[in-house]
Amino acid sequence: MDDFTFQCATKIIFGKGTENNVGEETKRFSNKILLHYGKESIKKSGLYDRITKSLKQVGISYVELSGVVPNPRLSLVKNGIELCKENKIDFILAVGGGSVIDSAKAIAVGVYHDGDVWDFFSKGIQPKKALPIGVVLTIPAAGSEASNASVITNEEIHRKSAFLSELVRPKFAILNPELTFTLPKFQTACGIADMMAHVFERYFTNSADVDLTDKLCEASLRSIIKNARIVIANQQNYDARANIMWASTLAHNGLLGTGRIEDWASHGIEHELSAFYDIAHGAGLAVIFPAWMNYVYKHDVKRFAQFAKEVWMINESDDEKAALAAIEHTRLFFKEIGLPTTLKELHINNEKFEQMAKRCEGRGSFVKLTKEDIIKIYEIALG
Amino acid sequence: MDDFTFQCATKIIFGKGTENNVGEETKRFSNKILLHYGKESIKKSGLYDRITKSLKQVGISYVELSGVVPNPRLSLVKNGIELCKENKIDFILAVGGGSVIDSAKAIAVGVYHDGDVWDFFSKGIQPKKALPIGVVLTIPAAGSEASNASVITNEEIHRKSAFLSELVRPKFAILNPELTFTLPKFQTACGIADMMAHVFERYFTNSADVDLTDKLCEASLRSIIKNARIVIANQQNYDARANIMWASTLAHNGLLGTGRIEDWASHGIEHELSAFYDIAHGAGLAVIFPAWMNYVYKHDVKRFAQFAKEVWMINESDDEKAALAAIEHTRLFFKEIGLPTTLKELHINNEKFEQMAKRCEGRGSFVKLTKEDIIKIYEIALG
């Protein structure tokens, strides 16, 4: 087991109606906040009213910034930074999924940065200060509600990049599974692929003797798979929605990576797809991960055989056969829940493979990938 | 799944040599601390020297209070409170296992309490303020290094009681598995029983549809069992020690109880044994838990059958037979690692059953136990 430092201080408030206490939770930090969200759908659903009512009840004033889109844009982040500065905002409440939360995190560090906020994403500069953030989660997927990461798309240069900082880990995250009842099937499935991918990125490691986190990863994946099937069949099953929602947070709060080196090649490879083609991140991952697995499994057939046995319950004594069966199970599972598993289904051809691969070469630690490796993975993914 | 709030902000610093940075970590909180520990063994091992060197390097002065014993005593807690007040201490560094940490937690709240610190344990009074605490862990067992609980023995009245408060959750916990290489086999085994018991208390629940935490509990138990066998055979196996150490923290930081009602009857029943007979807590749990399981399994045979299948890999289609086999596996496992599994082995007879049972009646939520129930459990445990 490798040495590690782990701290996730985000307060999780989980359950029915928990969004009605958002005012009380926010009050501990601020009286004047930025209310950041995506589409107007939170108004139709009544969520907006419940949240603003709770804020008003405790005397919190808010400035609104809506319009966050999937693969959240740098331009909106910059608007948010100006808005916070102009209005002397000292807290951001993100209401939405990973895109809204990531956008809030970028605003949070941009407010205290003299230069271009993109510096954090492109130059590896570490922020020194950030506005505190709170979350009301509506999409279980990205795990941003308790993570230290933010991923933003610079739409002008087709770049999707991340930065990591403990400063942006949300102070609290309100998780009400009922808020996810109305998520369309496709978006639900994308979220499932995203959270599974977060476990995969940690599970496939060269770190030896990490039995506990291996087993916790396998347990999480089995629970996600089991409850995903329930949720796709019955979108209003509260308990299945709840298990999925809590799993999405645990998949990415750092716990499952303790004691092990993580990979993150597939996320890099997918980010290029999202950046150029603006596809749903989860759909891109459902295409890329089985292709990546096919390309790298020979690096550690035993690990893939363990994945077969412990996650997919494949009873096969030949490690290579077990590994290949597990990869096929993974692909078929994504297909089963309604996700694409080839680039062709996403109307993506080989035109930009070279350009995209060049931009993410060197990614990966389970297997460090060259440009040529990545092109081959894109080719496998083509279908 | 039940609603819940979960927050564990303790910073975990895990790995080889990590105790050498204790000064840096402590410095964030204080320059004048209480250094709290148990026996002089930390001086013989060199740990005391490494810690005091690290503290001195960053200019931290310390007052020492040693002498914490297993089933830590109220009298020493009171000494600690006076010492902190006299010396204007504003941080406690606990170096040891659960007893030292629990003692530190009691001192931490006692410093700000006008009355008797025992009030927190006996009257359910909630502390309003506490000194911050840091930990260098030497015994993986109690999970106190990241928990909100403290258990203290009032030796005058033979009472062992707990209080819970988020205020006493340690700010940081330094976990170096190498520090556990020299733990005697019996103490290692007691720790293993203790951490398994912390998972059992959460696993056996009436909360329905808590699939994710069920699976995380099962994964933790399987990893503890696997690595316990390695550690008992080879006490200097770093990776097995590391998996055990991290499991002991996760077993009791609250994660495995999210979304479910916990039981805690067996801990109550054992605390009476420790209070009257001053036995090792882990040894008491190894005796009590199988007896408790035998007494209550009929309340939910299916859950015990799941325990059989997922933790002990028992392939038995008859639920009752599977349940009984799992309980026997649990008992035999404790025996295998060198623990007592009957009260007779602890030289305890039925003399105080009535008195002890009266003091913990009403405990339990999986099955709420009457005095008569508890006497029957003690009788099963007698052997």
- Residue B40 — very low, low, confident or very high, per pLDDT cuts 50/70/90? confident
CB-CB: which of A1, A12, A220 is closest to B6? A12
User: Does residue A70 sit in helix, strand or coil?
Assistant: coil
Which residue in this structure is represented by tokens 């978006």? Answer: A187
In this complex, do A14 and B6 lie within 8 Å of one another by their Cβ atoms?
yes
**pLDDT of residue B126 exceeding 90:** yes
Closest to A40 in 3D by CA, of A31, A32, A30, A48: A48
Q: What is the mean pLDDT of chain B?
A: 97
What is the pLDDT, as a whole number, of residue A1?
A: 98
The answer to whether the Cβ–Cβ distance between B5 and A16 falls below 8 Å is no
For residue A359, give the amino acid letter.
R
Mean pLDDT of the region A189-194: 98
Please give the mean pLDDT across all residues of chain A: 97
For residue B224, the chain A residue with the least C-alpha distance is: A212
Nearest-CA distance from B327 to chain A in Å?
A: 22
Q: Phi and psi for A54 in degrees, rounded to 5?
A: -65, -40
pLDDT at B321 over 90: yes
User: What is the predicted pLDDT for the residue at A364?
Assistant: 98
All structural domains of chain A, each given as residue ranges with its CATH number in brackets, are: 11-178 (3.40.50.1970), 183-382 (1.20.1090.10)
- pLDDT tens digits along B163-198: 999 999 999 999 999 999 999 999 999 999 999 999
Q: What is the pLDDT of residues B324-345, one digit of tens each?
A: 999 999 999 999 999 999 999 9
Query: What does the DSSP 8-state code read for residue A328?
Result: H
A and B: number of Cβ contacts within 8 A:
124
| Residue range A157-167: mean pLDDT, rounded | 93
Confidence of residue A206 (pLDDT cuts 50, 70, 90): very high
pLDDT exceeds 90 at position A41: no
Q: Enumerate residues 6+ apart whose C-beta is below 8 A from A46.
A: none
A224-273 pLDDT, tens digit per residue, is: 999 999 999 999 999 999 999 999 999 999 999 999 999 999 999 999 99
Using CA coordinates, name the residue in chain A closest to B238.
A1
**Once rounded to an integer, what is the mean pLDDT over residues B237-262?**
98
B39 pLDDT more than 90: no
Q: What is the pLDDT of residue A39?
A: 86
- In chain A, residues with a C-beta closer than 8 Å to the C-beta of B239 are 1, 208-209, 211
Per-residue pLDDT tens digits for B291-316? 999 999 999 999 999 999 999 999 99
The secondary structure of residue B73, as a DSSP letter, is B
CA distance B6 to chain A (A): 5
Q: Which chain A residue has its CA at the smallest distance from B220's CA?
A: A212
Of B145-149, B242-246, B274-278, minimum mean pLDDT range: B274-278
Sign of CA dihedral B270, B273, B275, B280: negative
Cβ neighbours of B15 in A, within 8 Å: 2-4
pLDDT at A207: 98
Contact B227 A212 (CB under 8 A): yes
Q: What is the ipTM of this complex?
A: 0.97
Chain A contact residues (CB < 8 Å to B): 1-16, 18, 177, 208-212, 215-216, 218-220, 222-223, 226-227, 238-240, 242-243, 246-247, 250, 255, 258-259
* Residue A255 burial (10 A CB sphere; 0-12, 13-18, 19+): buried
From CA A4, how far away is CA A126, in angstroms rounded? Answer: 20
- Can you give the pLDDT at residue A44? 93
B298 class by beta-carbon count within 10 Å (0-12 exposed, 13-18 middle, 19+ buried): exposed
Which of B210, B226, B246 has its CB closest to that of A258?
B246
Using the 8-state DSSP alphabet, how is residue B166 labeled? G
- B12 and A3 in contact by Cβ < 8 A? no
For residues A103 and A36, is the Cβ–Cβ distance under 8 A? yes
Instruction: Indicate whether A153 pLDDT > 90.
Output: yes
Choose among B4, B14, B226: nearest Cβ to A3.
B14
